[in-house]
Amino acid sequence: MKRVAVLAPAFLGPRGEPPVQGGAERHLIELCRLLEERGYAVTLFQAAAHDFRAVHDGRVVHGLGPTVVQGGAWTVTNRRFRDAARGYDHHLFHLWSMAYPEAPPGSVGVSHSLWWDDGAAVRGPVPNFTPRLREALRNLAVVVANDTNIINWVRATWPEMEGRFRFIPNFVDLAQFAPAPPRTHGGPLRVLVPCRLEPQKGLEPMLEAALMLTEQPGIEVHFVGPGPAEAVRRLQAVAAGRPAIRYRSRAMAEMPAEYRDADVVVIPSVATEGTSLSCLEAMASGRPVVAGWVGGLSNLIIHEYN
């Protein structure tokens, strides 16, 4: 049986805690299942606070510590992975930029989004940032991108490197997320915001919008998703003072019902967005979606068409 070593920036917590499953983590789980269905044995490696070995859902996960990220480069994790994954038949970098400064021949990368579009590079320029990205790309045989935003950026920046990319959009399970009839009750209009409580996901502008919307009678805004403890506490405090704003975290198995119970879904991302799984799930559930021109969202949404 061929063995595949997969390196990710995170999957379990930095000390081996249970994972917080966002889009990248869900993608990684499904990718592992796909490889295993095709007869490969998959071992996961991830950046960590210290070394650990854990088993999650039957798969071995190795934490490689310490995590040191400088100027977007994971040089310590990269070299630890090089040493730990010797002897594997295939190597996959679940964040393609982690292939700097080196990667085994034939390695494959994955791009979930153009993740440096949040303004940080403008606020504090990092020397050698783009040269390191270019070197990581040169080290990979192919990069699978789930949106065309990153491909267009590379085409404009390094035209000769465009051919390294393959565009494979994200996915949705149509058996789980199926069109539901519009809600016909006489209750309030329910706006669903299914996202992690992070700045890149547009938490602040969406919270501001929620406060404005819920000044009107007959509108509720429901935030559903995990996030850092501080963000959770803040949203809970806002919700305590504004009953029309709700917050909860849900397991993936509970999300189809959340979409069915919504009238409108908002994907408020302002940066680092690929072909959003939440957007795909909302569309598959037959719900109107409001989103911005960010990352891969424009691969999914055509204004006033779908």
Closest CA to 250 of 229, 281, 269, 223: 223
Domains in the chain: boundaries: 3-167, 189-300
Bridge partners of 108, per DSSP, are 92, 142
Report pLDDT for 120: 66
In tens, the pLDDT along 154-205 reads: 999 999 999 999 999 999 999 999 998 887 777 899 999 999 999 999 999 9
What is the average pLDDT across 229-250?
Answer: 95
Shared fold status for 3-167 and 189-300:
yes
What is the average pLDDT across 24-41?
Answer: 96
In tens, the pLDDT along 126-143 reads: 778 899 999 999 999 999
The fold of the 3-167 domain, in CATH, is Rossmann fold (3.40.50)
Place of tokens 């959009």: 169
Which CATH architecture is the domain 189-300 placed in?
3-Layer(aba) Sandwich (3.40)
Closest CA to 104 of 127, 122, 82: 82
Closest CA to 117 of 89, 150, 94: 150
In the chain, the amino acid numbered 61 is: V
Report pLDDT for 78: 99
Q: Say how far apart CA 40 and CA 49 lie, in whole Å.
A: 28
If residue 54 lies in a helix (H) or strand (E), which one and from where to where? Answer: strand 52-56
Report pLDDT for 124: 60
Prior bond of 101 cis (ω within 30°): yes
Report pLDDT for 72: 84
Report pLDDT for 121: 54
**Mean pLDDT (the chain, rounded):** 94
Instruction: Please state the separation of Cα 287 from the chain's center in Å.
Output: 21
Report pLDDT for 127: 76
